[in-house]
């Protein structure tokens, strides 16, 4: 319990779990602000697609496990910093109901040399996909019928994350 209080009080500026949308430009501006040593900035933005496994998606709802989400992301970022020579990092993940085309997730990484930012960014996304406690439920339409489904985890995501270890 005291653990959670600490997490909330000293909110990690590298991580944000939020219902609101975010601005890519603002996030990159923060990564670059008064940062004249890092020549490379790599961003990943994940968005809601209009189709998934052949179904027409109408909305996507993101659930998460408050507290553990932040802790797992902080651990992933720390691992990335141990492996690569990177500067600043920001991870944003949205929760709640999202529509087609909406931004879901943002990962931004800066580094002096580009290969570090590329590798660290992809590593963070790969680990987020299999270790951070988020779950997606999609509302789909099929032959006029609407239904809601929890997405199944993909073995391809697990396999991809395993490639880093």
The residue ranges that bind a copy of itself (CB under 8 A) are 23-25, 28, 32, 36-51, 100-101, 112, 114-115, 117-118, 121-122, 125, 160
* String marking each residue 6-35 x if it binds another protein according to CB under 8 A: ------------------------------
Q: Is 130 in the site for another protein (CB under 8 A)?
A: yes
Residue 132 binding: pick among another protein, a copy of itself, none (C-beta 5-8 Å cut-off by kind): another protein
> What is the C-alpha to C-alpha distance for residues 123 and 128, in angstroms, rounded to an integer?
8
> Smallest distance from the beta carbon of 152 to a copy of itself, in angstroms?
16
Whose structure tokens read 């290969």?
115
DSSP helix/strand/coil, 59 = strand
Separation between Cα atoms, residue 60 and residue 148, nearest integer Å: 9
CA distance 10 to 8: 6
Query: Cα 71 to the chain's mean position, in Å?
Result: 13
55 touches which of another protein, a copy of itself, none (CB within 5 to 8 A by kind)? none
Residue 18 is encoded by which pair of tokens?
């939020």
Helix segments in the chain, DSSP class H: 2-9, 24-32, 68-83, 114-131, 155-162
Per-residue interface string for the shown chain with another protein, residues 63-92, x marking contact by CB under 8 A: xxx-xx--xx--------------------
Residues lying near another protein in the complex (CB under 8 A) are found at: 1, 3, 46, 62-65, 67-68, 71-72, 93, 104-105, 125, 128-137, 150-153
């Amino acid at each position: 319990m005291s653990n959670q209080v600490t997490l909330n009080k000293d909110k990690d500026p590298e991580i944000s779990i939020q219902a609101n949308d975010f601005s890519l430009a603002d996030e990159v501006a923060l990564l670059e602000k008064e940062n004249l040593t890092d020549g490379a900035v790599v961003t990943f933005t994940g968005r809601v697609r209009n189709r998934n496994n052949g179904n027409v998606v109408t909305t996507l709802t993101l659930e998460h496990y408050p507290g553990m989400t932040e802790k797992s992301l902080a651990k992933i970022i720390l691992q990335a910093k141990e492996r690569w020579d990177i500067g600043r990092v920001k991870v944003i993940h949205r929760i709640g109901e999202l529509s087609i085309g909406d931004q879901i997730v943002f990962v931004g990484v800066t580094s002096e040399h580009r290969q570090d930012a590329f590798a660290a960014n992809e590593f963070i996304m790969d680990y987020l996909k299999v270790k951070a406690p988020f779950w997606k439920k999609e509302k789909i339409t099929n032959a006029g019928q609407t239904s809601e489904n929890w997405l199944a985890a993909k073995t391809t995501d697990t396999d991809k994350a395993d490639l880093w270890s």
